[in-house]
A and B are shown apart, each in its own frame.
Chain A
Amino acid sequence: MSNGRGFEEQERERRVRRRVFYLTFAALALILGGFLIWKLRILILPIIVGALLAFLFRPLKERFEVRWLPRELQVLCSFAAIGIVLFFAFNTFRKHIPDEEQKLEFKVRFKYKLNQRYRQLVAKSPEGKSNTVVALLEKQLGPFMDKINEVLALNPEERNLFLKYAAGYNGKPPIESKFVDYFRANQTTGKYVIPEKNAAGEISPAVSATPASAPPSAGEEGTSLESKLSAWMLAPLIFIFLGFDNGQVRRFFISLVPNRYFELSLTVLDRLDDAIGRYLRGTLMECFLVGLTLTLGLILLGIPLGIAVAIGVVSGLLNAIPFLGIAIALVIGVGYALIAENVTPLIPGLNPNDLVWYVLILVVITHVLDDIVFQPFVLGSAANVHPLVVVIAIIAGSLIMGVWGMLFAIPTVVVVETAGATFFKELKDYRII
C-alpha cells in the first residue's frame, strides 16, 4: 500500500518536473527563435519566395514524373528546363532594358509629351477665355505637373551627356533631331503654378522646411546591397532543395506531433495545402490571363511587341495585389500611351491620337474580364476574403514590408483564415475541444 503511494508520489513529482522542463525548454526555444528571426530577418523573404516557388511548381514536377528515371535525375531535368526558360526570358527582357542614352531620351520624350498633353488639356478657347472645368483642372493638376517636371528634369551632368549623345558619342549614332528639339523645348518649360508671395514679399516654401535625411554613403549602400544579394541567393537554393524533397519535410514535422494529434495534423496540413495551393495557383493563372489580355490588347492598339509584353508582364504580376495592381497597370499603360509616337493601331478606324483613351478602355475591359470571367473560373471559391479585410491587409502589409508586404498580404490572410477555420473544425471533429 505504502509502496503504491510512494510510486504515485514519484509519478506526480516526475510529472511536475516534466512540466517545468517543457515550459523552460519552450521559453528558451521561443527566445532563441525570436532572436534568430530578428537577426536573420533579411533571409525571411528569400526563404518564403523560394519555398513558395517550390510549392507552386510541385504539381508540375509530379505531373511530369517518369517512373523509370531516378528521382534526382528527374528533379535535375525539371530544374534544367526551368533554368533554360528563365535564361531565355531574362535574355529577351535584357534586350528591352534601356541603356544610358535611351534612358535620357526617354526622360526627355516623356517630359515633352506630358507637358504637350497637359497644355492641350488646359488650352484656352480661341477667344482666350477658360471655362470653369479647365480652371479647376489647372488648379488641381498644375502643382502635380510641376512636381513631375522636377522629377523628369535633367541635372547638369545629364544635360551635358545628352548633348554629347545628340552629336554622336561612345560609338553611337547621333540622337534623332526631334528628341533634340524636345530637349530644347523642355528647357523653356516653366512652372504652371507661381508660388504666392507672403506679406514680407518672400516666396512661401512649397515643401516643409524639414531637412532631408542624409543619403547613405556609397560604402554603406554597397554593403547593404551585397548582403541583400547574398540573402537572395538563398531563394533558388531553397527552391532546389525543396524540389528534391519527397515528403521528408512533412514527415519530419509530423513526427514531432504527439500521437493524439497525428491524424488531426495530417488532415489539417492536407486541407491547408489544398486551399493555399488552389488559391496561389489560381492567382498565378489569373495574373497570367490578365497580363496576356493586356499584352494582346496593347499589340492590337499598335504598341510595339516588346513594350506590350513588358507592360503585360509587370501589370500581370502586380495584379496579385488587389485594387492596386490594376491601378498600376493603368498608370504604366497610360504613361506609355502619353509618350507613344508613330503608333499604327491594328484595329482599323482607331485614331492614334486618342491612344490614351483606348489604353484606358483596355485596362477597364481587362479589369471587368478579370472580375467576371477570370476570377470566378480560375479562383472559384478558393478564397473568399471580405473586401474590407483585403484593404486592411494590403495597408498593413505595405506598412510592415513595403511592396513585398502588399504582395504577400492576401496569401497570408488566406493561410491564416484557412488554418484557423480548418484547425477549429478538426479539433471539434476529433473531440479535442
Chain B
Amino acid sequence: MSARKFAADKLLWETLGRWKRSSPELDRIQFLKTVPFFDRLSNRQLKTVSDIMFGRTYDTDEAVFEEGQPGAALFLILDGKIAIEICRETSTTRLAVLERGAFFGEMALLDDTPRSANARALEPTRTLALYRNDLDGLMHRHARTACQIYRSLASMIGDRLRSTNELVQMKAPADTVGIE
C-alpha cells in the first residue's frame, strides 16, 4: 500500500470514527470487513463498496429469490437466517442455513443465468445486496476494488470446483468397481 493511500485511508477512517462513531455507514463498513468475500479490500475500498450496496429487510418465510429467476445480485446477511432450498415436485430439500456474515447468490455477479435454488428468510433478516451492474460500473471507476472482488469470487469458485472434483474422484473408483 503506498504512503499516500495509507494516509488517505487513515484520514477517512479517523474522520468516520470521530464524526460517525455509531453511524449505519460505519457499522456497515465494519461488518463488510468481517466478510471473507471482501477481506482483500482496504477501508476506503470498503466504503466505496458499501456506497453501492442496497440494504433489504425480509420477514420470516419471505423469499429473497426463487429458483429459475434470473440472478442480478449477491446478498450478504447482516442479521438473521436464510435457508437455501431446492423444490422438487413433491419435496423440498434444504441445502444450507446461512447466518450473519454469510453470502449467497454470488453467481449472479457473473451473469444473469437462472438461480439454482430458493433463498428464504427463516426469521426477520437484514441483508446487503450488491447488484451486478453496479459492480461492473465500479470496474470503470475503481478498477482495483472491482478486481479484488472478482478475484475473491474467482478463488471461491475455484475452491468449489476443487471440492466437486474431490467428490467426483471419491465417487469414481466406487462406480468403476460397480461396473466391473
Task: Give A residues with C-beta under 8 Å from B.
Answer: 62, 65, 67-68, 246-247, 251, 254-255, 259-260, 262-263, 266-267, 270, 426, 429-431
Query: Which residues of chain B come closer than 8 Å to A262, judged between CB atoms?
Result: 54, 56, 73, 129
Could you say which of A259, A260, A267 has the most chain B C-beta atoms within 10 Å of its C-beta? A259
Residue-by-residue, is B28-65 near A (CB-CB < 8 Å gives 1, otherwise 0)? 00000000000000000000000110111110001111
Could you say which of B54, B65, B71 has the most chain A C-beta atoms within 10 Å of its C-beta? B54
Rounded to whole angstroms, the CA-CA distance of A130 and B4 in the bound complex is 87
Given A65-B141, A67-B142, A68-B8; A263-B54 close (CB under 8 Å): no
Residue-by-residue, is B3-33 near A (CB-CB < 8 Å gives 1, otherwise 0)? 0100010000000000000000000000000
Given A62-B141, A68-B4; A266-B51 close (CB under 8 Å): no
A-B contact pairs, 23 of them (CB 8 A): A62-B141, A65-B141, A68-B8, A246-B51, A247-B52, A251-B54, A255-B54, A255-B55, A260-B63, A262-B54, A262-B56, A262-B129, A263-B65, A263-B69, A266-B131, A266-B133, A267-B70, A267-B72, A270-B133, A429-B69, A429-B70, A430-B69, A431-B68
- The answer, yes or no, to whether B140 is at the interface (CB within 8 Å) is yes
Least CB distance from A246 to B in Å reads 7
Chain B residues touching A, range: 20 to 34
Rounded to whole angstroms, the CA-CA distance of A251 and B56 in the bound complex is 11
Rounded to whole angstroms, the CA-CA distance of A67 and B55 in the bound complex is 25
Query: Which residues of chain B come closer than 8 Å to A430, judged between CB atoms?
Result: 69-70
Query: Which residues of chain A come closer than 8 Å to B4, judged between CB atoms?
Result: 68
Rounded to whole angstroms, the CA-CA distance of A270 and B4 in the bound complex is 35
Q: Is the CB of B68 within 8 A of A259?
A: no
Query: Which residues of chain B come closer than 8 Å to A426, judged between CB atoms?
Result: 70
Task: Give B residues with C-beta under 8 Å from A.
Answer: 4, 8, 51-52, 54-58, 62-66, 68-73, 112, 129, 131, 133, 140-142
Q: Is the CB of B73 within 8 A of A266?
A: yes
Rounded to whole angstroms, the CA-CA distance of A263 and B127 in the bound complex is 13
Q: Is the CB of A263 within 8 A of B73?
A: yes
Rounded to whole angstroms, the CA-CA distance of A263 and B115 in the bound complex is 12
Rounded to whole angstroms, the CA-CA distance of A23 and B51 in the bound complex is 34
Rounded to whole angstroms, the CA-CA distance of A255 and B126 in the bound complex is 13
Among all A-B residue pairs, the 8 with the closest Cβ atoms: A263-B72, A270-B133, A430-B69, A266-B131, A429-B70, A267-B72, A266-B72, A263-B73
Rounded to whole angstroms, the CA-CA distance of A246 and B55 in the bound complex is 16
Given A62-B140, A67-B142, A247-B52; A259-B72 close (CB under 8 Å): no
Rounded to whole angstroms, the CA-CA distance of A263 and B57 in the bound complex is 14
Q: Is the CB of A431 within 8 A of B69?
A: yes
Query: Which residues of chain B come closer than 8 Å to A247, judged between CB atoms?
Result: 51-52
Instruction: Say what secondary structure dominates the interface of chain A.
Output: helix
Rounded to whole angstroms, the CA-CA distance of A62 and B141 in the bound complex is 7
Query: Which residues of chain A come closer than 8 Å to B55, judged between CB atoms?
Result: 255
Least CB distance from A71 to B in Å reads 10
Rounded to whole angstroms, the CA-CA distance of A260 and B66 in the bound complex is 10
Rounded to whole angstroms, the CA-CA distance of A62 and B4 in the bound complex is 23
Rounded to whole angstroms, the CA-CA distance of A426 and B72 in the bound complex is 12
Rounded to whole angstroms, the CA-CA distance of A115 and B54 in the bound complex is 68
Rounded to whole angstroms, the CA-CA distance of A430 and B66 in the bound complex is 9
Least CB distance from B87 to A in Å reads 13
Query: Which residues of chain A come closer than 8 Å to B52, judged between CB atoms?
Result: 247
Q: Is the CB of A431 within 8 A of B66?
A: yes
Rounded to whole angstroms, the CA-CA distance of A263 and B65 in the bound complex is 9
Rounded to whole angstroms, the CA-CA distance of A347 and B64 in the bound complex is 69
Query: Which residues of chain A come closer than 8 Å to B65, judged between CB atoms?
Result: 263
Q: Is the CB of A259 within 8 A of B64?
A: yes
Rounded to whole angstroms, the CA-CA distance of A255 and B62 in the bound complex is 17
Query: Which residues of chain A come closer than 8 Å to B51, judged between CB atoms?
Result: 246-247
Rounded to whole angstroms, the CA-CA distance of A24 and B64 in the bound complex is 29
**Which residue on chain A has the smallest CB distance to residue B53?**
A251
**Which residue on chain B has the smallest CB distance to residue A429?**
B70
Query: Which residues of chain A come closer than 8 Å to B62, judged between CB atoms?
Result: 259
Q: Is the CB of A259 within 8 A of B58?
A: yes
Q: Is the CB of B69 within 8 A of A254?
A: no
Q: Is the CB of B64 within 8 A of A254?
A: no
Query: Which residues of chain A come closer than 8 Å to B70, judged between CB atoms?
Result: 263, 267, 426, 429-430
Query: Which residues of chain A come closer than 8 Å to B73, judged between CB atoms?
Result: 262-263, 266
Query: Which residues of chain A come closer than 8 Å to B63, judged between CB atoms?
Result: 259-260
Rounded to whole angstroms, the CA-CA distance of A67 and B141 in the bound complex is 8
Least CB distance from A276 to B in Å reads 15
Given A68-B8, A431-B68; A259-B56 close (CB under 8 Å): yes
Rounded to whole angstroms, the CA-CA distance of A255 and B55 in the bound complex is 8
**Which residue on chain A has the smallest CB distance to residue B65?**
A263
Rounded to whole angstroms, the CA-CA distance of A247 and B53 in the bound complex is 10
**Which residue on chain A has the smallest CB distance to residue B144?**
A67
Least CB distance from A427 to B in Å reads 11
Query: Which residues of chain A come closer than 8 Å to B64, judged between CB atoms?
Result: 259
**Which residue on chain B has the smallest CB distance to residue A274?**
B133
Query: Which residues of chain A come closer than 8 Å to B57, judged between CB atoms?
Result: 259
Rounded to whole angstroms, the CA-CA distance of A67 and B9 in the bound complex is 12
Query: Which residues of chain B come closer than 8 Å to A251, judged between CB atoms?
Result: 54
Least CB distance from B86 to A in Å reads 16
Rounded to whole angstroms, the CA-CA distance of A68 and B63 in the bound complex is 41
Rounded to whole angstroms, the CA-CA distance of A189 and B62 in the bound complex is 84
Rounded to whole angstroms, the CA-CA distance of A260 and B72 in the bound complex is 13
Rounded to whole angstroms, the CA-CA distance of A419 and B72 in the bound complex is 18
Least CB distance from A371 to B in Å reads 33
Rounded to whole angstroms, the CA-CA distance of A263 and B62 in the bound complex is 15
